[in-house]
Structure 1
Amino acid sequence: MTRELILLRHAHAESAAPGEDDAQRPLSARGIAEAEAAGRWLRERRASPARVLCSPARRTRQTLERALGDVDAIVEPRIYAATAGELIALIDEHADAARLLLVGHNPGFETVVALLTTGQSGDFRGMPPAGIAWIEIESDAEPGASRLKAFRAP
């Protein structure tokens, strides 16, 4: 059974203010526009997710809201600062979702794209803010066993 994974990296965020927790950084004006454009891209391709997992960071939640509006999303703390291995384990936990959308961060996201599509962790660089990777997974999320269906860089 083929399933789909969409990774949406958060859009550009403001720099942290002195003493501000990284997870509390909001989107910048540029990031708001990027997130809205990412949402248009997803809608144009009819890429509605069956399930959404979002990092608890403010910038990821704002990216999701600006991209898809008020959707039923699971705030998943394990996405924040996750390694590629941790993200793949999370993806496997949600294998019952025909199309899973994760909203999160680099470097984990770009490494997951590389591992799933080429089997090599260093083969892919370039998951920019508000970037989207749409991946088809044939069975399990195993290295090199998936296909990059579409990619969007703002």
Structure 2
Amino acid sequence: MSLRRLILLRHAHAEPQQPGQHDRERSLSPTGEAEADAAGRWLAEHGTLPQRVVVSSAERARATAERVLAQTGYVDQRSDARIYEADPVELFEVIADQADVETLMLVGHNPGFESLAALLSTGQSGDHRGMPPAGIAVLEFADTAALEPGAATLSAFWAP
């Protein structure tokens, strides 16, 4: 088995950082909770369900994943601190480590996610158009495709 579908889910809106609080500790705002629920409903309605979810170590990403999985059904969920503040090269490494599943979802952050989506779909990491909080990009790989720039097709994009 090898990767055929990659779902990138940017975390939903978070509360502002408080004095003395680490950025990783920010929780979802009420708006973010509603966005994450809507993202989960969209994934469920479109049958775009992952076999495994790998989540950033940030609280807002974990909470987004939890709310989405409550809508789609729970699957193998793992945390990977490399996703936090990752660039496309680091995200490639995370994905490569999960190559034993056909449908993988990463839950994390910009600017890494929008750059990765652009790099995989167009071959150019700077060819992105943005990815709002709780935005979803679904990338499809052909059966013979390797994990490399330009190897995927952006088959769906959704934002709340």
Instruction: State TM-score, norm by structure 1.
Output: 0.96
* Residue pairs, 1:1-154, within 5 angstroms: 3-69=4-70, 70-138=74-142, 139-154=145-160
Instruction: Give, as a single letter, the amino acid of the residue that structure 1 aligns with 2:22.
Output: D
- Residues 77-116 of structure 1: per-residue CA shift (max 9 Å, x gap): 1111111111012112212210000000001000000000
**1:12·1:129 contact (CA, 8 Å) conserved in 2?**
yes
**2:54·2:107 contact (CA, 8 Å) conserved in 1?**
yes
How far residue 126 of structure 1 moved from its aligned partner, in angstroms, is: 1.2
- Residues 33-77 of structure 1: per-residue CA shift (max 9 Å, x gap): 000000000000111211110011100010011111254310111
| Count of residues paired in the alignment | 154
Q: Equivalent residue of 1:89, what SS?
A: helix
Instruction: State TM-score, norm by structure 2.
Output: 0.92
Q: CA RMSD in A?
A: 1.2
Runs of 4+ in 1 over 3 A off after TM superposition: none
How far residue 125 of structure 1 moved from its aligned partner, in angstroms, is: 2.3
Structure 2: gaps (5+ residues):
none
